[in-house]
Amino acid sequence: MNIKQGLFIGFIVAFFILGFVSMERSMPEAKEDRIYKAIKVYSPYQLEKRMGGLTIVDTRDGTKEKPSAAEVLFRMDELDKKWGKEHLRVEGNDVFVIGDNNQTVTKIFIETQKERDWLHKFFGI
């Protein structure tokens, strides 16, 4: 193998490694499906499709946020985390969803320790 072939193969390998690393960094955090879906029902932030991508809509006041396509899932996670710190409370084996007027909206049972750890890690509660 001569130098040109070595450089060509090196560039291809570097390209694939950088592509893989950038793909990993662009993925949002992994979530516990059961508990996340149960909590997400009460979150005021919803994704709305538009011509240029996705828009995040706050259903409380109708404000829309239009982050770039690469940032939309990260921004959605940020908004959910902020909302969760204010409106979620863990007591025993239950997660309580608290409304804007400090009343309990619902109670969701935590089935596993993995779900409890995810709540602590993701929402900081």
pLDDT at 63: 92
Please name the residue ranges forming H helices in the chain. Answer: 3-26, 33-40, 72-87, 113-123
Work out the angle between the directed axes of helices 113-123 and 33-40 (0-180°, nearest 10): 50
Which residues constitute the domain of residue 7?
Answer: 1-29
pTM above 0.85, yes or no: no
For the chain, how many structural domains are there in total?
2
How sure is the predictor about 37, in pLDDT bands with cuts at 50, 70 and 90? very high
Asked if 75 and 24 sit in the same domain, the reply is no
And the tokens for 37?
């879906």
Specify the pLDDT at position 124.
Answer: 85
| Residues 44 and 97 reside in one and the same domain | yes
